[in-house]
Amino acid sequence: MLSTIGELNLRDEYALLPHNAVLADVAKALSPVKNSAALIRGGKGKGIVGIVKVQMLLKALSQGGDPNRQKASDCMGTNLLRVRIDMPVGMALTKIAERNPDAVIVLDMEKKFVGYLSAEDYRSIKNQFRVNTAEERIPTTIGEAVDLRDEFRNISSKDRLEKAALLLRRPNVQFVLAQNKKKGIEGVLSVQHLLSIFQKGLNPDKEQVRKHMRTNLLRLSINTPIDVAIEAIEERTPDGVLVLNTDKSFAGFLSPDDYRSLMKYGGPKIENDGSLDSLIELLRNRTANSNEGPVVWTHAGSELLIRNRDIKAKTKENMLLVYIPVECDQTGLQIVTLRYYLGDESQMERLAVADEVIDAPEIITKHWGLILQESVWNIVLSWIDAGTPAGKIATGFALSSEGTIRTKAGKPRELLEVSA
């Protein structure tokens, strides 16, 4: 666990600009996706005196600022918090919460600039102090995995870029969706795309959205399986992903943050070489949310320590047995045994029967039995699906007499792309 700010691997998510930089310079500096802010140097060796974030820039442009003439210093934030590399992390978090600064500048022991604490760095620090929690169910579809947040606004494709900039200056808005009265949503503009336009010095009051919007849109059903959605997105590399309800009405826009949430639950990276070793490794990884472990699951005020690195599994007849070492204050170390009947090769259905009897003390089965059973099964099912050809899932599976899992591959019922 981190103890001082100096131990943090500060991300290179900023650009350094001179004190006489103009808005077009800032737009150019922020165009690379990795750059979340431009740090403005003071004149005559004064060091960092301000910061311009994307929303600050867009606000200035939406108010009619000339990208080629208006100085960045006119719109920069100057509430800077400076911390040294030897400052304890807990103290830094407290100061940040108290000051709510525009930027956190990190200095070495000689008070020289060494880095910028970005929002992503800040979240990383906070996560070091966050307890891992367990949900009752591991999601398997887009609708279950992400809460489609309102990170977009609708705009007419006939509107000017000035209006798009006005909408995108809000921190919670990352995209504008361009609509046509007859065709519906036909394009998208992101913050980064807009910055790349403004760095050319184009006048936002004269440029039409339709001329600059991106039109490579992918439409997915809200019930699309996570692995299938990820594969479709990686294959198409769309400018935007529209999520539709089962009746093909618009449900929401899948943002990059939403996509990262999907990646936590699934994706082509799952390895299934046909052996239980790959399943065991996936179980050890997923139950700890990709952390080394052990981890603490929490639910309804109850806590359970999962020794994920010691999870084991084996097959017996037509059963898959999973052994999970756990601990709680009342019981000490216990091995929870979960049993799943997978059927034989004459059945081959996408169905398993979980044994209601879970080998564990009652205090564990009462609070955690169903949660463990469902969470582990969803991981197992994603591993089974990963053993099928690209673009398909296991429409049926069974345990062979040799103790290996056989699958019947087919296309998912709720498919990849929806025509709308």
Mean pLDDT over each residue of the chain, to the nearest integer? 83
Of 16, 191, 35, give the one whose Cα is nearest residue 119: 35
What pLDDT does residue 135 have?
39
**Phi, psi (degrees; rounded to nearest 5) at 243:** -105, 130
- How confident is the model over 130-148, as a mean pLDDT? 63
Question: Could you tell me which CATH class the domain 5-128 is placed in?
Answer: alpha beta
Ranges of each domain in the chain: 5-128, 142-265, 276-410
Question: Could you tell me which CATH class the domain 142-265 is placed in?
Answer: alpha beta
**Phi, psi (degrees; rounded to nearest 5) at 63:** -95, 10
State the DSSP H helix or E strand holding residue 59, giving kind and residue range, or none if neither. Answer: helix 54-62
Q: Of 124-138, 302-316, 383-397, where does the model show the most confidence?
A: 302-316
Per-residue pLDDT reduced to its tens digit, 226-238 = 878 888 888 888 9
- How confident is the model over 146-158, as a mean pLDDT? 84
- Residue 419 above 60 pLDDT? no
- Residue 299 above 80 pLDDT? no
d(CA 35, CA 54): 9
- Residue 173 above 60 pLDDT? yes
Query: Which own/partner contact pairs does 350-358 have at CB distance under 8 Å and 24+ positions apart?
Result: 350/394, 350/395, 350/396, 350/397, 352/320, 352/377, 355/319
At 134, the pLDDT band (50, 70, 90 cuts) reads very low
- Residue 420 above 50 pLDDT? no
3-state secondary structure at position 201: coil
- How confident is the model over 4-26, as a mean pLDDT? 85
DSSP 258: H
At 50, the pLDDT band (50, 70, 90 cuts) reads very high
Helical segments of 129-255, H only? 142-145, 161-168, 191-198, 209-212, 226-236
At 136, the pLDDT band (50, 70, 90 cuts) reads very low
151 touches 175 (CB < 8 A): yes
Question: Does 76 or 247 have the greater pLDDT score?
Answer: 76
This prediction has a pTM of 0.45
375 touches 245 (CB < 8 A): no
- Residue 357 above 90 pLDDT? no
What pLDDT does residue 269 have?
63
Per-residue pLDDT reduced to its tens digit, 241-287 = 999 887 788 888 998 878 887 877 754 467 888 889 999 999 998 88
Instruction: Tell me if 5-128 shares its fold with 142-265.
Output: yes
What pLDDT does residue 284 have?
93
What pLDDT does residue 40 have?
93
